[in-house]
Structure 1
Amino acid sequence: MAAFLFCSFADAQLFRTKDRMDNLEGFDGQKFSYGFFLAGNNYDYKLVLDPRFGMDGQKNLVQTKSAYSFGAGLIGKLRLNDYFDLRIEPGLQFVEREIFFNTQSNDQYTAGTPANEPFLPIVLTDADKLRTVKSTYVDIPLLIEVHGDRWYNSRPYAAAGVNWMMNLQSNSKSEDDNQQGIFRTTASNFAWSAEIGMQFYFSRFKLTPGFRGTFMINNESVADNAETPPYWSSAMSSVKTRAFMFVLKFE
């Protein structure tokens, strides 16, 4: 019954053309428009491991686990012409991920190598091996959007651009590091994004469901202190966020 009602509503609002005008006919002719969005996210880290401290032969010693999260923000749009818009969509993304360090085998380097000073080994507990990384990103993407012609009350679009992402929980200025259980990352970051979706026009608003991928450009890892054994940050050459989002935009 619910599916029947939804289909009837969609037919009436979007595709039935007899004896009605298109919804929001002049909406896309505005120079400026605004709205808000909600997002469901899947965030993960892309790791490049150090061949000495991050790998044991062909075995990866560091693993990550992605997690689902959510975000929300605002939309500002500048119309460039009939097919291109410039968008800025500042938002907050609330993220939690896990990194598992199975790096006890690095004890073999305690005497020191050209890559590291000698260090005093410790026995890694379960708490030492697991880092739960919580992040709150202020995400400000600037996107160029290209869209097709309207087909009744819908039209496809694609967008791409760059992001500035400030991590409010980076711990970048903490004097403690992984030896005290603190995983540190950079506060200011840059990324690029690509997005695709469909815009639907209703009588009072425009709804845009879309899929977005965001990929960090810079290395987010902050090195552990010099006296910390190479069980954690030394095992990773680079750490970069990658995220996949389902966004719902309301304008």
Structure 2
Amino acid sequence: MKKILTIALLIFSCAFANAQIFSGERILNNENFDQQKWSWGYFLGLNSYDFNFDYINYNPNPVTGQDFRVEKRVGFNVGLVGNLKLNNNLDLRLEPGVNFNTRGYQALKADANTFREVSSTYVHIPLLLKFNANRLNNFRPFVVGGVSTSINLSSNESNPDDNSAGQFRMTTNSYYYEIGFGIDLYLYYFKLSPSIRGVFAINDELIRDADPNSLYTGNVDKMSSRAVFLNFTFQ
């Protein structure tokens, strides 16, 4: 999924850059857009979430080389953008949104059916710094990084049932750092900014089962989410 998203963005970026740099086009769209102190917009996008595990005692399944299998699926992002211009090459951005995703999770050290489907609905709130290169015609690359927090509305944190009853539980609140890159494309009526971003949880998100020897949680020292976002921002 990560490779597909990266290749798609690079192909799109290269095609646009070639058209802008080598076509001889000199008409600037939205010439004064970046002079605004404040600007607003919205984004639509795709996501792919994964789990990263740290173990108390590393003793993986001899066949697979791991204790757990995570089945990654493609989810959907939607949200708003508030942008504050700090100077010609630096912006401060707030991008509150909602992310929908489902992951498959399975313990591999048992013959029983240990598969769990983990559906998550995140209210995701990143605070980001956007570092912009100088504009070239209607093309401007950027890198972005910052921190974020999210509320998992499907966490099951307060559910008294655990994996013994078929309930996989995670913390409701999580904290992340994010880093990515993208391109501002100045179109006739608006600015379109495709970007790709890696999102990495800082805290442990796993709620342990009551059984200290649980196949799902007993040997896990830390479980944290990581994700790839492909967003298209309209301003």
Report if the CA contact (8 A) 1:179-1:228 is conserved.
no
- Distance in 2 between the 1:89 and 1:33 partners? 12
Deviations 1:132-170 (A, max 9, x none): 111111110000001011100111101100011110000
1:32 to 33, 38, 53: 38
Number of aligned residue pairs: 218
What is the TM-score with the length of structure 1 in the denominator? Answer: 0.80
Aligned residue number for residue 246 of structure 1 = 230
Q: Aligned Cα RMSD in Å?
A: 2.3
Report if the CA contact (8 A) 1:156-1:199 is conserved.
yes
- Distance in 2 between the 1:229 and 1:158 partners? 44
Aligned residue number for residue 218 of structure 2 = 234
Please state how far the C-alpha of 1:102 moved relative to its aligned partner: 2.2
Aligned residue number for residue 121 of structure 1 = none
- Distance in 1 between the 2:70 and 2:60 partners? 14
Report if the CA contact (8 A) 1:49-1:55 is conserved.
no
Please state how far the C-alpha of 1:61 moved relative to its aligned partner: 2.5
Report if the CA contact (8 A) 1:199-1:209 is conserved.
yes
Aligned residue number for residue 110 of structure 1 = none
Q: Does 1:204 align with 2:212?
A: no
Aligned residue number for residue 111 of structure 1 = none
- Distance in 1 between the 2:25 and 2:62 partners? 65
Report if the CA contact (8 A) 2:61-2:108 is conserved.
no
The amino acid that maps onto 1:33 is S
SS at match of 2:87: coil
- Distance in 1 between the 2:112 and 2:61 partners? 19
Report if the CA contact (8 A) 2:162-2:209 is conserved.
yes
Aligned residue number for residue 171 of structure 2 = 186
| Percent of residue pairs identical | 33
Deviations 1:205-229 (A, max 9, x none): 000011111000001001112x465
Deviations 1:178-208 (A, max 9, x none): 1000001000110000110111101110000
Q: Does 1:17 align with 2:1?
A: no
5+ unaligned residues in a row in structure 1: which ranges?
1-6, 105-123
SS at match of 1:210: strand
1:93 to 99, 107, 113: 99
2:130 to 140, 145, 151: 145
The amino acid that maps onto 2:100 is F
What is the TM-score with the length of structure 2 in the denominator? Answer: 0.86
Report if the CA contact (8 A) 2:213-2:219 is conserved.
no
1:36-47, aligned counterparts within 5 Å?
36-47=42-53
Structure 1 segments, 4+ long, off by >3 Å, are 14-18, 54-59
